[in-house]
């Protein structure tokens, strides 16, 4: 009984401390770090730039490129065969 109460309290505390805003902040930080770290790779740079735009505070006012168009533009369209 006491073990269940401790577990429920621990879960409540975890959810309280790691709310959605904090999770979003950490996600932004991770994507920004990956963006800087992998800036030399054009595909990774495009992907992380796309994600950073989606994670920005003004995301709703920015036009979003469709996934199909984005994949085609960066050369990763799974429906097209590579000529390599």
Residue 84: other Cβ atoms inside 10 A: 3
The owner of tokens 């920005």 is 56
User: How does pLDDT run across 35-52, given as a tens digit for each residue?
Assistant: 999 989 999 999 999 999
Residue 42 burial (C-beta neighbours within 10 Å; 0-12, 13-18, 19+): exposed
Range list of H helices, 38-66: 42-55
Query: In terms of residue numbers, what domain contains 68?
Result: 20-79
Please state the rounded mean pLDDT for residues 4-12.
Answer: 87
Beta-carbon contacts of residue 44 (< 8 Å; ≥ 6 apart): 34, 35, 38
Spatial separation of the C-alpha atoms in residues 6 and 59, rounded to whole Å: 40
Q: Is the pLDDT of residue 32 over 70?
A: yes
How many structural domains comprise the chain? 1
pTM: 0.68
Please state the rounded mean pLDDT for residues 6-20.
Answer: 84
Inside any domain, residue 65: yes
Residue 82, pLDDT score: 60
Inside any domain, residue 67: yes
Inside any domain, residue 9: no
């Amino acid at each position: 009984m006491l073990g269940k109460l401790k577990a429920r309290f621990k879960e409540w505390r975890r959810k309280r401390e790691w709310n959605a805003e904090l999770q979003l902040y950490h996600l932004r930080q991770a994507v920004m770090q990956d963006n800087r770290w992998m800036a030399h790779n054009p595909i990774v740079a495009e992907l992380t730039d796309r994600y950073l735009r989606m994670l920005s505070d003004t995301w709703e006012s920015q036009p979003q490129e469709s996934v199909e168009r984005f994949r085609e533009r960066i050369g990763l369209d799974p429906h097209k065969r590579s000529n390599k």
